[in-house]
């Protein structure tokens, strides 16, 4: 089966698979009032997730990121990691987590086949971390990152959402942290979502503010690799870690898009924004449906738009990113 490709020549080898929309944190920009379940959870079961992964792998996907909500809340999280790692042709299994279980389980997850971890840490100041996330377990999260480094995971990254009024002045803290640690910090511009227009207006900070400081301090942009997607990465010879900038509001951001998303209820999202999702679940009940599922993926890609409409203030149908995995 040929590789997933859209009308603009972009190829998609990276799947972000959400396994739950539930979360135990209350990040101000995501679930400020905490997770509110809407009815009985009907998240994809492991056999359905496995079919999603196999179909994507047959269409050229080589990297799967397990995300959420908070993916490690699922009791069968380790089984799902194993399924991902054992999917033929998948070369990299990653997860994005708030890190509250990392210190305890980093070794178990690695045994299950997890290669890369992104941990969300919006501030390296414990008080600011608690203010932003509504959770006071900063030290535990940081211990988890140290544990992952000890275990020599292929890559350990920190995701930091840039927030005016919270962490805009904390670049020095982050740089100090990665001087001797092989951790990549990814600064992500706050994205506007359906439920958070006012928060966005008050706290959005352009990534160029960080970019300028990095360039002034001798950081250099890396040549982009196949995995980078829309991130711009920077290195400096005096630092063990790297910095990545994700600036969805910058020109041409969508030109290097290499990822597709499937939500925890089995909807394909061609973009984080702009559409309500394409149903896949009716084709996830049996292995016999895999060829039809693959065809649906190919057909769906023809409808992918060239860019998002965030510049027009259109955040599409996405209420918050916990709903489809960020
Ligand atoms: N719970 C996990 C976590 O926080 O790492 C995984 C899911 S979370 C939705 C995935 C990523 O999306 C996190 O790094 C989070 O900071 C980021 N995120 C959530 N809402 C965002 C927004 N409005 N703009 C930019 N990034 C956002
Ligand atoms: Fe939970 Fe992640 Fe959203 Fe924070 S960003 S509320 S940890 S899903």
CATH of the domain spanning 14-323: 3.20.20.70
Strand partners, 153: none
Please identify, by atom number, the ligand 2 atom nearest to the C-alpha of residue 69: 8
- Is pLDDT above 60 for 315? no
Sign of the alpha-carbon dihedral angle for 147, 162, 95, 127: positive
Reduce the DSSP state of residue 18 to 3 states and report it. strand
Query: Smallest Cα–Cα separation from 259: which of 9, 24, 12?
Result: 12
8 Å CB contact between 87 and 100: no
Residue 108 phi, psi (nearest 5): -60, -45
Condensed to tens digits (0 to 9), the pLDDT of residues 143-168 reads: 999 999 999 999 999 999 999 999 99
The structure tokens listed for 113 are 């086949």
Closest atom, ligand 1, to C-alpha of 325: 9
Residue ID of nearest Cα to ligand 2 atom 8: 69
Rounded distance from Cα 69 to ligand 1 centre (Å): 8
Ligand 1 contact via 55 beta carbon (within 6 Å): no
* Reported confidence tier of residue 321, pLDDT bands at 50, 70, 90: confident
Residues in the ligand 2 pocket, defined by CB under 6 Å: 23, 25, 27, 30-31, 68-70, 98, 120, 133, 322
Task: Give the position, in ligand 2's atom list, of the atom nearest the Cα of 23.
Answer: 1
Q: Give the distance (Å) from ligand 1 centre to CA of residue 204.
A: 14
d(CA 277, CA 325): 13
Question: Which-ligand-closest: CA of 196?
Answer: 1
* Alpha-carbon dihedral sign for residues 127, 129, 135, 140: negative
CA of 158 to the centre of ligand 2 (A): 14
Q: What's the chain's average pLDDT?
A: 91
Is residue 7 pLDDT above 90, yes or no? no
- Ligand 1, atom 25, lies closest to the CA of 190
C-beta separation of 183 from 158 below 8 A: yes
Q: Is 188 in the pocket of ligand 1 (CB under 6 A)?
A: yes
**Which ligand approaches the C-alpha of residue 95 most closely?**
1
Using a 6 Å cutoff on CB, does residue 162 contact ligand 1? no
Give 43-101 pLDDT, tens digit per residue. 999 999 999 999 999 999 999 999 999 999 999 999 999 999 999 999 999 999 999 99
Q: Radius of gyration (Cα) for the chain, nearest Å?
A: 19
Torsion angle of C-alpha atoms 275, 12, 85, 95, degrees rounded to 10: -50
The per-residue pLDDT for range 178-220, each reduced to its tens digit, is 999 999 999 999 988 877 788 999 999 999 999 999 999 999 9
Backbone φ and ψ of 24, nearest 5° = -100, -5
**Ligand 1, atom 5, residue with closest C-alpha:** 97
Whether 136 shows a pLDDT value over 60: the answer reads: yes
Identify the sign of the CA torsion 209, 210, 212, 216.
Answer: positive
Residue 269: CA count within 13 A, CB half-sphere: 23
Is the distance from CB of 112 to CB of 81 less than 8 angstroms? yes
Contact 21, 318 (CB under 8 A): no
Categorize the per-residue pLDDT at 251 as very low, low, confident or very high, splitting at 50, 70 and 90.
Answer: low
Mean pLDDT of 26-45: 90
**Residue 251 main-chain phi, psi, to 5 deg:** -65, 140
Full-model pTM: 0.94
Query: Among 36-40, 76-80, 105-109, 197-201, which is the least confidently predicted range?
Result: 36-40
Say yes or no: CB of residue 190 within 6 Å of ligand 1. Answer: yes
């Amino acid at each position: 089966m040929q590789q997933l490709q859209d009308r603009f020549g972009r190829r998609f080898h990276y799947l972000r698979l959400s396994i739950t929309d539930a979360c135990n944190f209350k990040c101000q920009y995501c679930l400020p009032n905490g997770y509110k379940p809407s009815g009985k959870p009907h998240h994809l079961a492991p056999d359905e997730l496995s079919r999603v992964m196999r179909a994507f792998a047959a269409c050229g996907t080589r990297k799967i990121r397990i995300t959420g909500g908070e993916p490690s809340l699922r009791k069968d999280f380790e089984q799902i990691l194993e399924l991902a790692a054992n999917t033929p042709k998948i070369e990299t299994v990653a997860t994005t987590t708030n890190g509250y279980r990392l210190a305890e389980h980093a070794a178990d997850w690695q045994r299950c086949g997890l290669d890369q971890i992104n941990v969300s840490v919006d501030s390296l100041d414990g008080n600011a971390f608690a203010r932003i996330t509504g959770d006071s377990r900063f030290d535990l999260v940081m211990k988890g990152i140290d544990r992952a480094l000890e275990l020599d995971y292929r890559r350990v990254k920190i995701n930091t959402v840039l927030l005016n009024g919270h962490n805009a002045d904390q670049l020095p803290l982050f740089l100090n942290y990665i001087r001797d640690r092989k951790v990549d910090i990814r600064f992500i511009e706050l994205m506007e979502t359906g439920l958070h227009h006012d928060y966005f207006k008050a706290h959005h900070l352009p990534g160029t503010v960080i970019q300028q400081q990095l360039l002034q301090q001798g950081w250099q942009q890396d040549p982009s690799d196949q995995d980078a997607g829309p991130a711009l990465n920077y290195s400096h010879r005096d630092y063990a870690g790297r910095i990545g900038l994700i600036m969805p509001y910058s020109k041409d951001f969508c030109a290097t898009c290499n990822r597709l998303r499937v939500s925890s209820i089995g909807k394909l999202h061609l973009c984080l924004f702009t559409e309500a999702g394409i149903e896949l679940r009716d084709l996830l009940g049996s292995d016999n449906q895999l060829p039809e599922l693959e065809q649906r993926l190919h057909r769906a890609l023809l409808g992918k738009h060239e860019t998002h409409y965030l510049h027009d203030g259109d955040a599409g149908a996405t209420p918050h990113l916990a709903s489809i995995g960020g």
